[in-house]
Structure 1
């Protein structure tokens, strides 16, 4: 049995973390393993446990780059990398090389089974975090803190701590509801050692809704925001996201409520779109007013192969440093590339990379942060190339599902370990880029979608939300700058749900929403296909995607959990 006893974690060791008044600092300040009584005997100990809840989404475990809270490889199973795999790698966004193992081929082609590793990682990571939250909530009851002699020193902060722990727990259940449907449920009132009872998908939806509504006014107000921590606007955002998907999760539509909470985010004066799209994906993105919640990282003190370090390295080869300053010192030799279907969502004139324009300022849509060039690119004697030797097609005619994707398919320049002043970087091994979990741009698009689906509001209002996002993308209208090439606004006749699905792809690619979007629009398994979707990975030469069984709208519950917990039933047809 795997070493993660996720439902009844008894915290015997914990790293004590420090914090900054302006930016959540998740790195360890002490490597000393402390017994429970020692941990909870001081304010610093309590604060360390609180920050462990956040850090569990950033690092694999308590041992730096080599540490791990689960028995799988700490690099490939780290939380945000796992989330990317289940929400982005299974969609029209990317293709991954088959030689990587671990169930990668069956995952990216929508052929996974109950034994495929990648769909299991996020499941176990989420329950570890739920267990941490439950334990923290038990230990922050007033009578417990008084017993440890900590109440007086922490009482002014503990309400925020508890609300944030409940938020993080609700977010994990939101993901479990979205990805796996009916799952086991346990909270801080559940006795340690008991098997979780399986709740229906609708019941999990209702639980998340109830939790978020209860803590909405207990969260830190957004005018006191600390980068890396959640606050009241985070709760509004997640409520909007929950309600937007409510018909999928519960069978009832909640588009009116999705609009209400999206507008709460939009009208919050403490947040606004960044002047430049790319500023949200650089190492100083903690200065962006657009990001509601982010997971920070640090090249020296939070080393590991997850968070944005993974997004930087997996699609790159070293020769690509000839064109773009990525700010890192190593790559993973092009383990993946962008799907041609995704690249084609951008204007044809914006798709190819211009070596004289590494920041894509000359493009109309500045979100087309793509690295690729014509087949005529040539390598020079010194190892450099005049243009990226990448073709847009991520297949080779007549060849089976490719084991090496180098030169097949474009890659990306969206994530860069550099600052927005564009000063030449000193490359580092690990990323300093915080991962933006929630952005206000998404709230604009959620509001527009809710209106188009028939709730309150007008088409003119929906159009204004979409054009706000597109004007920033094109640096036109109120976001006009010297890099403006074209007007990003669309007309009312262009505003349709299919257009909005594509707009979400252009705006939010690699940010872990794509699978959920495709399911909500009814096109994840059938009716819309991309390269290699549904194709066998052994000997298959036909790259044209095909419809797959609707069972793939949910991932299977890991078989080990089915075996060990008699209360759990597997999802249909697995």
Structure 2
């Protein structure tokens, strides 16, 4: 089983060593090869674990000298934090949250939540650059930890078998970055450790090429990864690789025009058989001690770490929890955060998924606060309109607030078992082989029973049901845009939501918005990149 580990200091320490220099070029080309790690650093065999920690740290931190520091020069630290920008591009761009302060990031937030973005949007630049930096860090680590490099330093026996798992984890993190780039942008520059040192402007890979690489990488490293739930907290294991594979297979029709629901069932079954179980209470997944309460031990497959003291930054959970503090409500104590005066609310279409009678109002997943508020948001700047939620909290399961009222302790659950259950059910409904409708219904009802909601029968397990159920279970966890695209509900006018396309009532979106534009700065830095159609 996972054990509580001083992981937050561990990540910070590794990040400090690896990312001590800043990147001037917004294609994340280091100023020189010394940006990464010198031979002196690797003279110590213990440094390999610290270097691996730095790659993990790139998912949680932005720099090494406080919350406002960034190793990507020219971009605001918050605008390049991995989880925060991913959350913006997956959830804020869809039908769930809305951000009150639309001029933030020079209007970039407004463009994302109104679906009016272009290649100069700084949030797009931040995520693309941060993901490519994971690629660059991984490539350097793999070069430095090759059998030849270890032998030259006399480290082969000193690092033992650990280095095999370290290298597999690094390759998984690179595959994760390319998975997100494939999903969001449809293409990316492709560079591996096999390219010469100093080569960072890789050729452009399209979705099919990225899909093949991600799939082959994860299959190749499967045997070298630690078994499910046997690694230190927040480090990847086989289940994380299986989850990413299940994700790309479930979305394969979008990515490569092929049905791979059978493969999705295969890999969700692997995760389900990996010893995970649901936390007894839904809310445990989103608390300040979700690193070691029931959720962290049993349900969360892969978190991005956050600590209010050691890893202070304006990442996803800090933004979410401070944003949940309402403009009318005195709910700072409940959330364990001082708040930002009603920064986040929900769109009417989301709140209706809990209020339209499909689930009881007492469903535990319903964290809406509606008293004294209206569901409709006419003016985005009116923080008193629209319902708010209290899903994520900077409070532990024993009621203790996190040590800092701004920078939260709550880890971001990138992957958890509940999603796997819903993915399995969807793949079965879509006709994948190797699963059963009985198991699919059972998995959905396990989630509903935990939430004290109404159970369903097989006749109710349909695609329209599942897209709404995924929202009820997984809202604000960074999945929504991807889900709506897979169901054919993101672009076009079959489903509109408040401020979709910039209109208060929502309008149809052109199909090219199913992928984001390649950021202009990244294209300028790498002439191999071409712009997506429509931009």
Q: State TM-score, norm by structure 2.
A: 0.90
Deviation at 1:427, TM superposition (A): 5.7
Return the alpha-carbon distance in structure 2 between the equivalents of residues 194 and 245 of structure 1: 29
With over 3 angstroms needed to count, the CA separation of the structure-2 counterparts of 1:568 and 1:31, relative to structure 1, is closer
1:256-278 per-position Cα deviation (integer Å, ceiling 9, x unaligned): 00001001111222x10000000
Return the alpha-carbon distance in structure 2 between the equivalents of residues 132 and 431 of structure 1: 26
The answer on 1:204 being equivalent to 2:210 is yes
The answer on 1:247 being equivalent to 2:240 is no
In structure 1, the partner of 2:299 is 290
Structure with the largest fraction of helix: 2
Asked if the contact 2:325–2:332 (Cα under 8 Å) also holds between the matched residues in 1, the reply is no
The answer on 1:454 being equivalent to 2:431 is yes
Question: Match for 2:516 among 555, 561, 570?
Answer: 555
Matches within 5 A, 1:336-355: 336-348=344-356
Asked if the contact 1:335–1:405 (Cα under 8 Å) also holds between the matched residues in 2, the reply is no
The answer on 1:172 being equivalent to 2:174 is no
Matches within 5 A, 1:93-492: 93-97=96-100, 98-100=102-104, 101-191=106-196, 192-193=198-199, 195-269=201-275, 271-286=276-291, 287=293, 288=295, 289-317=298-326, 320-322=329-331, 325-328=334-337, 330-348=338-356, 364-374=362-372, 390-395=373-378, 401-402=379-380, 404-423=381-400, 428-456=405-433, 457-474=435-452, 487-492=453-458
**SS at 1:462 equivalent:** helix
Answer with 511-520 or 282-291: which moved more.
282-291
1:225-266 per-position Cα deviation (integer Å, ceiling 9, x unaligned): 321101011111111111001111111110000001001111
**SS at 1:320 equivalent:** coil
With over 3 angstroms needed to count, the CA separation of the structure-2 counterparts of 1:344 and 1:157, relative to structure 1, is same
Q: State TM-score, norm by structure 1.
A: 0.84
Answer with 72-81 or 513-522: which moved more.
72-81
In structure 2, the partner of 1:569 is 530
Return the alpha-carbon distance in structure 2 between the equivalents of residues 45 and 465 of structure 1: 43
**SS at 1:293 equivalent:** strand
1:506-538 per-position Cα deviation (integer Å, ceiling 9, x unaligned): 111111111100000011012111001112xxx
Matches within 5 A, 1:22-33: 23=7, 25-28=10-13
**SS at 1:534 equivalent:** helix
Deviation at 1:437, TM superposition (A): 1.1
Asked if the contact 2:135–2:174 (Cα under 8 Å) also holds between the matched residues in 1, the reply is yes
Answer with 316-325 or 430-439: which moved more.
316-325
**Structure 2: where are the runs of 5+ without partners?**
21-35
Return the alpha-carbon distance in structure 1 between the equivalents of residues 390 and 81 of structure 2: 23
Return the alpha-carbon distance in structure 1 between the equivalents of residues 237 and 47 of structure 2: 22
Deviation at 1:159, TM superposition (A): 0.7
Between Structure 1 and Structure 2, whose CA radius of gyration is higher?
A: 1
**SS at 2:303 equivalent:** strand
Asked if the contact 1:284–1:420 (Cα under 8 Å) also holds between the matched residues in 2, the reply is yes
**Structure 1: where are the runs of 5+ without partners?**
1-18, 352-361, 375-389, 396-400, 475-486, 536-541
**SS at 1:337 equivalent:** strand
Deviation at 1:121, TM superposition (A): 1.5
With over 3 angstroms needed to count, the CA separation of the structure-2 counterparts of 1:415 and 1:194, relative to structure 1, is closer
